[in-house]
Amino acid sequence: MTQAPQPNQEPNILGKFASVVGLLGTALFFAGWIYRWSYFYFFQLEITTLDLSPQSFLIVPLQIFLGDGWIICKSAIAFIIAAIAIHITLWLIQSLSDALVNQLNQLLSHRIIPATQRKRSWFAKRLKSLAEFSSPQLGSVQFLRSLVNEIVIVSWTLLVIFWLARWQGTADARRDASQHSTLPVVTLVTPENRFALGRKLDDVFTNPSLKGYNLIGDRGLFDDLRGREDNDTSDRKKPRVWRLLLERGGWIYLFPTLPPNAKPSDRPPVLVLQKSDQGEQLMILSPEATQTESP
């Protein structure tokens, strides 16, 4: 008589690897989305309107977790704390579950059973059924316990990723809005009738005419920028440098960097200009601004 073949006890390595890759990709995409959301939120821009490619969200997390030595140490400390928090949370859930089962056992043995023996009312039968189910059966439902454990692990992991990505996105945005920005210095040359703001190349001291333009919103914001559209590094305490934030979807996002003494709550104004499709615009990018001597 031939023996039945034994079931294969070897682990499904390929299946586990695919599961890990899938979870890792989801976590990286989540981290990239939170990072860019907090980064552009600093500039008062909504990420859903920027038409960013989904693939780029998988590359951004490298900056979140592996940007430099301090970021690596910070990420390692955060995940160690998360592991400790997961362990403590699971221990608390286990302790509360055991305590609840013990209380139901005591209720079943001392009160419900004698009461049901004396008078088997409908309510007493329901209590007896609840206690009997909770005591021997609920503790043996491994699926429910495994589900709770996975929810705890995923929740703490996502919480740590959220705060790491949010903190790093805000920190990078504040750096790029300051005098130590890593964004390129921009020079945008357009025809005179394209925008209401700008300096004339042949006469930078004369404001362009506003005839034919209408205004909706805060006039003060427009007046604050009018006359300050060019770079000016002559004043070391308050240099003015325009930088390119983003060029996406036919729109150009420009902003003047914040002064060195800016408060943490300060935000730079952002100009959103439509990119020309006629070829009459000229945009020059540079890592540093031209230094001008003070008069």
Q: How many domains does the chain have?
A: 2
Same domain as 188, residue 166: no
Q: From start to end of 113-250, where are the E strands?
A: 185-189, 242-248
State whether 34 and 107 are in the same domain. yes
Question: Measured between alpha carbons, how far is 180 from 236 in angstroms, rounded to an integer?
Answer: 14
- Ranges of residues in the chain with a pLDDT under 50 are 1, 116, 118, 135-136, 138-139
Which residue range is the domain that position 196 belongs to?
Answer: 179-295
Tokens 């005419």 correspond to: 209
Pick the closest to residue 167 from 29, 27, 26, 31 (CA basis): 31
Phi, psi (deg, nearest 5) at residue 123: -65, -40
pLDDT of residue 1: 46
My answer on whether 132 and 41 are in the same domain is: yes
pLDDT (0 to 100) of residue 135: 46
Same domain, 191 and 290: yes
> What pLDDT, on a 0 to 100 scale, did the predictor assign at position 120?
54
Does one domain contain both 223 and 282? yes
**Same domain, residue pair 197 and 60:** no
Same domain, 195 and 293: yes
Residue 124's pLDDT is 60
Alpha-carbon span 255 to 40, nearest angstrom: 12
253, 247 in Cβ contact below 8 A? yes
DSSP 234: S
pLDDT of res. 265: 87
Answer yes or no: do 287 and 215 share one domain: yes
Boundary of a domain, candidates 150, 176, 202: 176
- Return the amino acid letter for 172: D
Question: Are the CB atoms for 272 and 50 separated by under 8 Å?
Answer: no
Q: How far apart are CA 271 and CA 166, in angstroms?
A: 24
Alpha carbon distance 114, 116 (integer Å): 5
Tokens at residue 128, please?
């007896």
* 19 and 160 housed in the same domain: yes
pTM to 2 decimals? 0.76
Domain presence at residue 17? yes
Residues 166 and 281 in one domain: no
Residues 21 and 102 in one domain: yes
Domain check: are 246 and 260 in the same one? yes
